[in-house]
Structure 1
Amino acid sequence: MTRFSLRAGITSLGAMALFTAHAHASSVLPSDEAQDLIVYKVKSGDTLLELSRKYFVSSAGISQVARINQLQDADRITVGQSLSIPRQSVKHWTSVARVMGMSCASSYTAEQGNTRLTVGTPLHEGALLKVPAGCHTALLLEDSSIVRLPSGAVLKLSTLRKNALEKAPEVRLELATGRVELEVMKERSPLTPFEIRTPRSVMGVRGTQFRVGFSPDTQGSLVEVTQGVVKTQGTADAESVDLTQGMGVTIDASGKASAPEALLPAPRYASFSKSPNHPTELSVQLQHMDNAGSFQADIATTANLSGLRRTQQWANPEFKIDQLINQAMFYQVAAISKNGLLGTPALMAFCAAPVSAEQARCSAVFETPLAEGASITFTLNRQNAAAHQEVIRTGHLTAVNGKFAVKDLQPGHYSWSLSYPLAKASADQAGVYQSGAFELIALPTAAP
């Protein structure tokens, strides 16, 4: 196989103006019984008495485990044997969610507590977040899952705890209004609950990227799956609905889920034109899409959609960009169906080409607000036909003020990943892992 080499540069950034995981494993909504049980594989030297001393809240757990596993002799368990242990019998403690990104004119205070939220603020079980208008907040869970809350969302961390037998935290979220976007780490055990509820539905997930919304005005919910599988159920439904990648449902005010429908595909860039009245303004046209009722874009200055993120909607597949510069501006664009479901997003990065698009060399900024001097592992590849051209691979990148930039990028399709440990975190904190892809599009800015 031939390896191509591209030249690019990385620079750390000082103060400046200000998704996604490769999850593909199937997700399940555990039954009530499965949700309450932890599976433990017996190791050499284990006895129920010793397990009770290490992990159980009280010695009463011994008889519970013996009964559930139908043990003839509680003193005899064998190496490799799988024991089902009631979750409520196991010692647990609070888990922590950290604010990993904020796009607000100023910080705000969680409903329960007096601490004003800033990047790095820890949040615990019971915290209630009401995201102000014009804000966007991202939370990092201890297993590296990410919860994104756009403007107007109201979310309660109803359960956020860890126990002595499972690596990932138990997570239960309640969405009262607005939307929430989740990137759930695929390594989570399917028996460790990760659940999100609205007043009309409940979703159980593992290894997925998906969105949930609830409107107090219509009392309706919606679920949109962009990666993995989610099992969702309306409060009035007798059975759950399996939603695979690229599918969504709406749930009406009575709690009944609609039939699953395919999400609209990712929009594609078509062309651009210059405004005759505004010399710095460009109009970007997307390819025509059947059944699209409108279009939406999350706009940010960073490839991982942090920083000054804002949302815009348009009735037609066309939007305007003003004053492009060498540094790319990122537009995560999606089509909205006539039923209100947000389709598969496409991340487009636009930058200025002073001479021609072919000769353009642009920069892309990444934000790592929780790195605090830690070494960042970063990879960037450019896709060329069927080949991947390695642009950058490093395990020793550092950022300044939580940002770094990749320079001298040619237009084209890119994929990336980054990871770093958290400073001042517990030993079992997974750290940060993010990955994604974007199309870099250079638009001429010189007068014709």
Structure 2
Amino acid sequence: MPAVARPALPRAPYVDDNLLCRAQPLPAVVQHLTGEAWKLDDKGVSTVLMEGMVIDEQESVKTSPSAFVSLLLGDGSRIVLPSSSQVRLHLVEEQAIPQVILEQGQVEAYVIKRASDYDRFQIVTPVGVLGVRGTHFRVRNDGEQSVVEVLNGQVAVNRDETPPTTKPVKKKPVVGPVAGEVKVGARQGLVFKKQGELKPVELLDPPTLVGQDGQKGDAPVWTLFLRPLPGAQRYRAQVATDKEFMNIKQENFSSKPQMSFTGLKASFYHVRLSAYDEQGLEGATGVYDIFYYPPATRVQQTSGG
């Protein structure tokens, strides 16, 4: 018998250090879904994911190889999971700090600004913890290392913290600089392992779209042509129906400065382009607004004898 998702109990708002009443970050709600994905409860039992579904403490979201999911947290922060990714949500109750444990793949986060030094959003990876107080950034697991790319704001990387367990642990808030912590600023990236120097580098500029083409057929093909970018080893393009890229429909990767999409309907799309450097860091993004209209397939007429 398939598992049935049960609604999460609401958490009461809390008062922060500035005596402001604030909404709890969890539970989160599935805002957009493209493709197939699943919700896993704290025992690992899976349920087919649907828009509007609630994801709470110690629950996970897993995407298939062609899926995209965006989650809206209670405090207004948002996270986006691309294909073949999995995250688990955790809440440090005492300071209401939401933690996203990245178990597979990649996550992109848009975090609402936090007021205090310790009241912040965190991404937990196998090799470290990333803390933020208001920024737009990407994180992914890549074998024995993790990768962070900051597009806006700042991320603090610390490899010394221990990932959270399923049991609540009370910890005193950390105020001020943390030993071993490295700050990664806007348009910077960092590849970090369990050992070695933590040294942020500048991200590549976004590639430029120089043309497009369409091919007819039962599954029309839409091809984008980019200007080759010095230092780029690979290119990425995402197609979404909204300018915030919460509702991503397709994405593609290519070692050449061109890529194709199939099966898209005629519509107004937002296209986001980026490139990867030799370290595997994905660079800054450029966004283009395009009305795509698939070329019609001509029907060949035959005359009777």
Normalised TM-score (structure 1): 0.51
Q: Which protein has the larger Cα radius of gyration, Structure 1 or Structure 2?
A: 1
Q: CA deviation at 1:292?
A: 0.2
Name the CA distance, whole Å, in 2 between partners of 1:269 and 1:295. Answer: 12
- SS of alignment partner, residue 344 of structure 1: coil
- SS of alignment partner, residue 39 of structure 1: coil
Which AA in structure 2 matches 1:241?
V
Match of 1:191 among 95, 113, 118: 118
Partner of 1:439: none
Q: CA deviation at 1:173?
A: 2.1
Task: Say whether the 8 Å CA contact 1:149–1:180 is kept in structure 2.
Answer: yes
Residue 229 (str. 1) matches residue 172 (str. 2): no
Write 1 or 2 for the structure with the bigger share of helix: 1
Name the CA distance, whole Å, in 2 between partners of 1:226 and 1:347. Answer: 13
Partner of 2:12: none
What percentage of residue pairs aligned between the two structures are identical?
24
Partner of 1:342: 282
Residue 241 (str. 1) matches residue 182 (str. 2): yes
- SS of alignment partner, residue 267 of structure 2: coil
Per-residue CA distance 1:206-228 (angstroms, 9 max, x = gap): 1100011113xx31111100000
Partner of 1:181: 108
Q: CA deviation at 1:349?
A: 2.9
Match of 1:108 among 38, 44, 55: 38
Which AA in structure 2 matches 1:294?
R
Task: Say whether the 8 Å CA contact 1:125–1:161 is kept in structure 2.
Answer: no
Partner of 1:212: 139
Which AA in structure 2 matches 1:239?
G
Cα pair distance change 1:188/1:40, threshold 3 Å: closer
Task: Say whether the 8 Å CA contact 1:234–1:257 is kept in structure 2.
Answer: no
Residue 152 (str. 1) matches residue 79 (str. 2): no
Which AA in structure 2 matches 1:263?
L
Q: CA deviation at 1:170?
A: 1.9
Partner of 1:5: none
Q: RCO (CA 8 Å, sep 6+): is it higher in 1 or 2?
A: 1
Q: CA RMSD in A?
A: 3.5
Task: Say whether the 8 Å CA contact 2:235–2:276 is kept in structure 1.
Answer: yes
Residue 96 (str. 1) matches residue 27 (str. 2): yes
Cα pair distance change 1:277/1:178, threshold 3 Å: closer
Match of 2:54 among 95, 98, 122: 122
Task: Say whether the 8 Å CA contact 1:337–1:343 is kept in structure 2.
Answer: yes
Name the CA distance, whole Å, in 2 between partners of 1:160 and 1:295. Answer: 37
Task: Say whether the 8 Å CA contact 1:104–1:308 is kept in structure 2.
Answer: no
Cα pair distance change 1:240/1:160, threshold 3 Å: closer
Q: Which runs of 5+ in 1 are unaligned?
A: 1-37, 42-91, 164-168, 355-443
Task: Say whether the 8 Å CA contact 1:178–1:213 is kept in structure 2.
Answer: yes
Per-residue CA distance 1:134-187 (angstroms, 9 max, x = gap): 222111111100011122222121226477xxxxx4212221221111000125
Name the CA distance, whole Å, in 2 between partners of 1:201 and 1:147. Answer: 19
Per-residue CA distance 1:321-345 (angstroms, 9 max, x = gap): 5688752233221101111111111
Cα pair distance change 1:257/1:349, threshold 3 Å: farther
Cα pair distance change 1:283/1:148, threshold 3 Å: closer
Match of 1:330 among 261, 270, 278: 270
Task: Say whether the 8 Å CA contact 1:94–1:125 is kept in structure 2.
Answer: no
Cα pair distance change 1:207/1:445, threshold 3 Å: farther
Q: Which runs of 5+ in 2 are unaligned?
A: 1-15, 162-177, 299-305
- Give the count of matched residue pairs: 262
Name the CA distance, whole Å, in 1 between partners of 2:129 and 2:270. Answer: 32
Matches within 5 A, 1:13-24: none
Which AA in structure 1 matches 2:156?
K
Per-residue CA distance 1:94-114 (angstroms, 9 max, x = gap): 931111111124x52324266
- SS of alignment partner, residue 328 of structure 1: strand
Task: Say whether the 8 Å CA contact 2:219–2:262 is kept in structure 1.
Answer: no
Task: Say whether the 8 Å CA contact 1:248–1:263 is kept in structure 2.
Answer: yes
Which AA in structure 2 matches 1:245?
A
Name the CA distance, whole Å, in 2 between partners of 1:103 and 1:326. Answer: 17
Matches within 5 A, 1:395-406: none
Q: CA deviation at 1:117?
A: 2.8
